[in-house]
Structure 1
C-alpha cells in the first residue's frame, strides 16, 4: 500500500513538473525554471535562427519583424544586417520576462541607434504597426502555441503589416519537436506543419510552401514561407473574379435604378 502511494505521488509530481515545463516553454516567466528553459531553448534554436535569417537575406534598408523573439538572438542577427543602412528590426513578445531580458540586452542599440524596437502584444490579431510596413516577418517556435480559432486572424494581421511582395518565414526542426513531444512538453498536433500551411492559405497568403533543408551542424530543418502578393489579382481564380465582377456590376445597376426611381417619384427610402 505504501509503495502504491509513493508511486502515485511520484507520477503526480512528474505530471506537475512536465506541465510546468510546458507552460514555461510556451510563456517563460521570471523564475529558475523560466531561466533554465529559456536558456535551453535559445541554445537549441540558435542554428535554426541563423538559417531563417540567411534564407531571408535582408538588405541594409529592410524593415524586419520577429514574433516571439525570446532572448533576442535572431533580432541581433538582423540588426547586424541593417545597422549600417536605413532598416530597422521590430519584435513583439508575449512573455514579460523575455521582453525584459531582450530590452536589457539591446539597451545601447535602442538608445543610440533607434534601429531596434521592442513591443508587447497581448493579442497578435491587433499589432501596433501601420499597413505595408515590413519587408520580412518571421518566427521560430511560435505557432505551436496559437489556438486554431485565432490562427487565421493572426496571419491576416501579419499579412496586413507586410509590404506587397513581402515574405513571411517560419523555421522548424522536426527532430527537436519530436523529442519535446516524447517528453510531454508538446503535442504533435500543436506543431503539425499542415495546420499552419492551411491557416496561411486561409489568410490569403500566396506561394505558401514548406521546404526541407539539411545542414552539417543541425541535420534536417524545415522552412515554411509565404508571400504577400504585389498584385491584388495575383493567384485568384479567373472564374471567381468574373463572378465577383458580375455581382458588383449588378449591385451598381441596382443602386442606379433605385436612385432613379427615387428621383422620378420624389419619394425616399426611409
Structure 2
C-alpha cells in the first residue's frame, strides 16, 4: 500500500501547477498562431502572393466561384461588340466565358487585378491567339483610379473583391 507523504504531495502539486502553466502557455501560443494564420489567409484572399498559401487559397476560391461566374455571365446580356471590365479577375475564371460571348464581334475583355501573382498566372495561362487579341490583363495598385473614360465599358463586374476595397472609396 502506498503511503501518501506530504513532500510527495507538494511535488505533485508543483507539477500540476507547472502543467497548468504549460497548458496556459500552449493555449496562448496556439491562439497567437491561429490569429496570425487567419490574418495571413485573409490577406491571401485580398491580394494573393506567390506562396503555397496563395496557391491553395486561390485554387479554392476559383473552384467555389465558378458557378457564380457561369450564372452571372449568362445573365449579363452581353453582345459581340461589348467592352467588358472585370475588377479583380483572379485566376481568370470569367475570361473564357466572356470571350465565348464576344468572340464573333469586336468586343474586348479588360481585367484589372491587385495581385501581381494573379496577373502573372492568368496572363501566362491565357496565351492562345483569341485571348491575346480579345483580352487585356493589367495589374494595378488601386481600383479607384482607372485609366478609362467613364463611358468606355458596356459592362463592369466583380466577384468577391469588395472586401479588398478601402471604405473611403466605397462611398464614391
Alignment TM-score, normalising by the size of structure 2: 0.83
Q: May I ask how many residue pairs the two structures share in their alignment?
A: 152
Q: Which residue of 1 aligns with 2:54?
A: 34
Q: Paired residue for 2:111?
A: 91
Q: 1:108 aligns with which of 122, 128, 132?
A: 128
- Asked if 2 retains the 8 angstrom alpha-carbon contact of 1:27 and 1:95, the reply is yes
Q: Of the two structures, which has the highest relative contact order with CA contacts closer than 8 Å and spacing of 6 or more?
A: 2
Is residue 112 of structure 2 the alignment partner of residue 76 of structure 1?
no
In the alignment, is the contact (CA less than 8 A) between 2:143 and 2:165 conserved in 1?
no
Q: Which has the larger radius of gyration?
A: 2
Q: Secondary structure at the residue paired with 1:84?
A: coil
Higher helix proportion: 2
What are the Cα deviations for residues 97-131 of structure 1, in whole angstroms up to 9, with x where unaligned?
A: 00001101112246x75110011221222212234
Match of 2:168 among 134, 149, 153: 149
Deviation at 1:79, TM superposition (A): 0.9
* Contact 1:68/1:91, CA 8 A, preserved across alignment: yes
TM-align CA RMSD = 1.4
Cα deviation, 1:82-110, whole Å, max 9, x if unaligned, reads 11211110000000000001101112246
Change (3 A) 1:101 1:113: closer
In structure 2, relative to structure 1, the CA distance for the partners of 1:15 and 1:151 (3 Å cut) is same
Q: Which residue of 2 aligns with 1:264?
A: none
Structure with more of its chain in strand, by fraction? 1
Aligned residue in 2 for 1:64: 84
In the TM superposition, structure 1's runs of 4+ consecutive aligned residues that sit over 3 Å from their partners are none
Trace 1:200-215 onto structure 2 (pairs within 5 A).
none
**Which ranges of structure 2 fall in alignment gaps of 5 or more residues?**
1-20
Q: Is the 8 A contact 1:109 1:116 kept in 2?
A: no
